[in-house]
A and B are shown apart, each in its own frame.
Chain A
Amino acid sequence: MSPREIVALRDYLSPELNDRTISDAHHMVSLTDVLSHTVLSGRLHELAGRSVLLRLSNQLRSGLAMIELDGIVRRMLLCPPDLNPAHLDTLIADAGIDAVVTDEPDRWAGTGVSLVVTAQLPLQATAPAKTERATEWLMLTSGTSGVPKIVGHTLEALTGAIVAEGPAKGPAPVWATFYDIRRYGGLQIFLRAILSGGSMVLSDPHETLADHVIRLKARGVSHISGTPSHWRKLLMSGSAAQFAPRYVRLSGEIADQAVLDGLKAAFPNSSVGHAYASTEAGVGFAVNDGLEGFPANYLGNRNGVEMKIVDGSLRIRSTRTAHAYVGRNAGPLTDGDGFVDSGDIVELRGDRYYFVGRRGGIINIGGLKVHPEEIEAVINRHPLVRMSRAKSRKSPITGGIVVADVILTEGTDPARAKEIRDQILDQCRAQLAPHKVPAVICFVEALDVTPAGKLARTNA
């Protein structure tokens, strides 16, 4: 062993812990048996030391392949399901990929990738592998229309927050997430399930929300995470009844007071917390006091995570941040001092910081900068509003005005629309500068959510 022991995912899977499973809508696999089984038809040794593209059509095979590959391959690049195939060639070149793990091997015939390994179920028995090296985990950023950036992590950085928190109290958790585990938010939950000695219930894009919740209940899910948009959809669906997780977690978007209160009302016996994390900055912190924003004393150095605010945006330095962007034209991921600029704009009110929006998401209203999220947070405070989206609309007078699309809670009498619109506008006028008050409010049935679980903000 090297001076510092290298730990890979398999080393968290103890053969003594029984009853651990990972499951999706169709299959359930024992996390105890996984050590002596292979999803790669026993071809793991061929991949040792390689840079592997993990391109699979479902999360279960992806998760099992991650467990098997970690500690054996040099690099693995996780492809989220919505990755545009047109970007694959660039990503393969940038990451120096020399092997692919796929469940569609025909697609890779004649593509020039020298080694193609098929991942398939059921698992086959094999001799347990031994951790050889610290694999570099490559993840892709979301939210850009061009080629996504490749972000380099280590398992140690990815699991830093989980290790720091220590083991969960009580029985081993059964984790679930609305995210896909090939994205940072979902991977965090998958890793939590592995490290905690618990189980993992995966989402399925082809399943209705009602069926998903039935499955979450049937599998005894105790800990569950999603974006505020995921959670608002669940609250709107009326499917949350009888589901009683111990821990409800939000991340990936601003958790406003309305969604926190809505979850607390829907899950009165659960602890509801929101976490701040990004693919680049890693996990920053969790907030468990039921309030939006975070206490101002989180700034500075706290549990090894250093945070500061420069030009209004949150900057983070810790051992949990990614170590680099990977690729031929990759820019620096941190500033000269090692801080990642999150691009998330915060505002100090009293002794708390509040997230007001993304630097890149600013809309321009008559020359004044407006964060749509700030307006949505006020609209969402109306008790009959479930979800909203503010955006700009061209105006011949001021260049732009704010308009908002709003979803009302299920069962709201349509005859009350006018009255509710006036109440929302009163609320906005009381709490927002005049140019931020929506000029027009439209009631809509649905709002688009991106594959990454975030409210779609195509600002046409």
Chain B
Amino acid sequence: MSVRSKVIEAIQKIAKEQHVTLPALSDDLSLHETGFDSLAFAILVARLEDETGVDPFTISEDAAFPLTVGDFVRAYENVPA
């Protein structure tokens, strides 16, 4: 499974658990518009860390927190192996 589809799948699962109705997940959708609160994002980052072995927001001190869904996905895609 590609990194992108793993991320999208995790977002959709958490949305279902948290009873959040997601809009269509386009790359330029702002994270704010997903309806996720900080707790939902914290869960997302923790689960993705377990699945992919990386947490792009902790390993790099200067990693700016992404603003859009596309930024978020790229943060996982661009992690150096």
Contacts and interface: CB of A to CB of B under 8 A. Distances in A.
B2 interface: no
Residue in B41, B45, B46, B58 with the greatest tally of chain A CB atoms within 10 Å: B46
A396 interface: yes
Interface string A399-414: 0010100000000000
A397 B45 contact: yes
Majority secondary structure of chain A interface residues (helix, strand, loop or mixed): mixed
B17 A393 contact: no
A435 B46 CA distance: 14
A440 B57 contact: no
B50 A396 contact: no
B38 interface: yes
A395 B44 CA distance: 10
A318 to B, nearest CB: 43
Q: Which 9 A-B pairs have the closest CB atoms?
A: A439-B43, A396-B57, A397-B42, A398-B42, A395-B42, A439-B46, A396-B58, A401-B42, A397-B41
B47 interface: yes
Given A393-B46, A440-B46, A440-B47, A366 B57 contact: no
Interface in B39-57: 39, 41-43, 45-47, 50, 55, 57
Contact of B45 (A366, A396, A434, A442): A396
A429 B39 CA distance: 13
Interface string B6-47: 000000000001100000000000000000001101110111
Contacts of B57: 396-397
Contacts of B47: 439-440
Interface residues of A, number: 16
Interface of B: 17-18, 38-39, 41-43, 45-47, 50, 55, 57-58
Contact of A394 (B43, B50, B58): B58
27 contacts: A366-B39, A394-B58, A395-B42, A396-B45, A396-B55, A397-B38, A397-B42, A397-B45, A397-B57, A398-B39, A398-B42, A401-B39, A401-B42, A401-B43, A401-B46, A403-B46, A425-B17, A429-B17, A435-B39, A439-B42, A439-B43, A439-B46, A439-B47, A440-B43, A440-B47, A440-B50, A442-B50
A439 B43 CA distance: 5
A442 B58 CA distance: 21
Nearest to B59: A396
A398 B43 CA distance: 10
Interface in A73-102: none
Most chain B beta carbons < 10 A, residue from A397, A403, A439, A440? A397
Nearest to A435: B39
A393 B50 CA distance: 12
Given A439-B42, A440-B43, 6 more contacts: A366-B42, A393-B46, A395-B42, A396-B55, A401-B46, A442-B50
Nearest to A397: B42
Nearest to B41: A397
A425 B17 CA distance: 8
Interface in A33-78: none
A374 to B, nearest CB: 17
Interface string A239-250: 000000000000
B51 to A, nearest CB: 10
A396 B41 CA distance: 10
Chain B CB count within 10 A is highest, among A393, A395, A398, A435, for: A395
